[in-house]
Structure 1
């Protein structure tokens, strides 16, 4: 999942400030294709300082995602693409009650680690951080401190 990452940033829609050759989320979202959305996100990450960012993979249930270290915070230019990919991947299944409880626990942990305004997940399981929060230097350490509660990188 955003955590935000993904990071676990399941947390985190157009590639703001991305290079001109980055795919736009409206293109990926208009096709309704989760794979295309993930490819757009991966390309944006590669174009913005992560040349070895992994290709998207499909799990045994047919869901697309990217498996990366939970300490990898999406590049700000790619956050909207990550959000689009996560939403495109999650349309097939809503998070279970247990998954939502874990996501809420993750959000609370981040709040407890000097990020008092970190949001809870929406009903779709996406943690939609407000503009500018990703620039807070306290966010990275908080996400790392809470990685035991972090949502999986690969949507289920």
Structure 2
């Protein structure tokens, strides 16, 4: 990944597909492994325990409101499915990285995520589970599309037990491509409809 994507790692991995942190639990069927989340939070606004898609949406909305209350007023509402709007979140990340704002933006984002961590975990626990086989096949098609559209080093997803590890840069420590480049953005836009809901990159 390029050196300018430090903030992105705080919210999503290079090709993050999870809306929230794992809350310390082991992956379950169809779960997508994520890069982890900041710790500590206040649970004063934690929603009551419910189940179903409506509960997932409500939990994500509570998390969004918390992020806004903690300095990120433009944090977007979840989609109707309950999943985050990653396109708009990435726009916010880019804005925080502009000019000399990188360090201040990183600190601002980290502070908000720490404050809202409990709400992230609530939403994570309510997230609909996906069939691992179908999820893997969908991500495989997406990886091929990315390569066909010019990102030749885009790696296939992998399976680890019942968890699916998304594809992307085969070695983030030594990036094979620049996710901030116009070429990558064109490929991302061309292939994003192949991603299952909740796995926007």
TM-score w.r.t. length of structure 2: 0.40
Asked which structure has the greater RCO (Cα within 8 Å, sep 6+), the reply is 1
Of structures 1 and 2, the larger Rg is shown by: 2
